[in-house]
């Protein structure tokens, strides 16, 4: 994707259309533990491993038709 506004091939529109990008954090195994100890573990995991930037999903949304598509490239730790 290059230029502004960002363009991406939309499968629904069948052409290059302007898109917006959104990064969403994947859930962690620590997210399910709602106890006080679980919250402390989640906070420690976030600070130590950079959890707010680590393990993200990239989604692109077509500005013409509104179709949202997961668009991850490459491998983890690349």
Domain boundaries, the chain: 7-70
Comparison of pLDDT for 55 and 75, the residue scoring more: 55
Please state, in angstroms and rounded to a whole number, the distance separating the CA atoms of residues 34 and 24: 21
Q: What is the pLDDT of residues 16-67, one digit of tens each?
A: 999 998 888 777 777 777 888 888 888 887 788 765 666 788 899 999 999 9
Angle made by CA atoms 12, 14, 64, in degrees to the nearest 5: 60
What is the structure's pLDDT at 65?
Answer: 92
What is the structure's pLDDT at 75?
Answer: 65
What is the structure's pLDDT at 51?
Answer: 59
Which residue in 35, 10, 13, 42 sits closest to 1, CA to CA?
10
Please state, in angstroms and rounded to a whole number, the distance separating the CA atoms of residues 33 and 4: 42
Helix (H) or strand (E) holding 10: strand 7-10
List strands edge to edge, sheet with 15-25: 7-10, 15-25, 56-62, 68-70
What is the structure's pLDDT at 1?
Answer: 44
């Amino acid at each position: 994707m290059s230029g502004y506004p960002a363009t991406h091939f939309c499968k629904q529109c069948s052409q290059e259309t302007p898109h917006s990008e959104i990064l969403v954090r994947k859930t962690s195994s620590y997210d399910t533990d709602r106890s006080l100890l679980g919250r402390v573990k989640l906070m420690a995991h976030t600070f130590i491993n950079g959890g707010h930037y680590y393990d993200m999903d990239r989604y692109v949304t077509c500005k013409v038709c509104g179709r949202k598509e997961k668009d991850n490239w490459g491998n983890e730790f690349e």
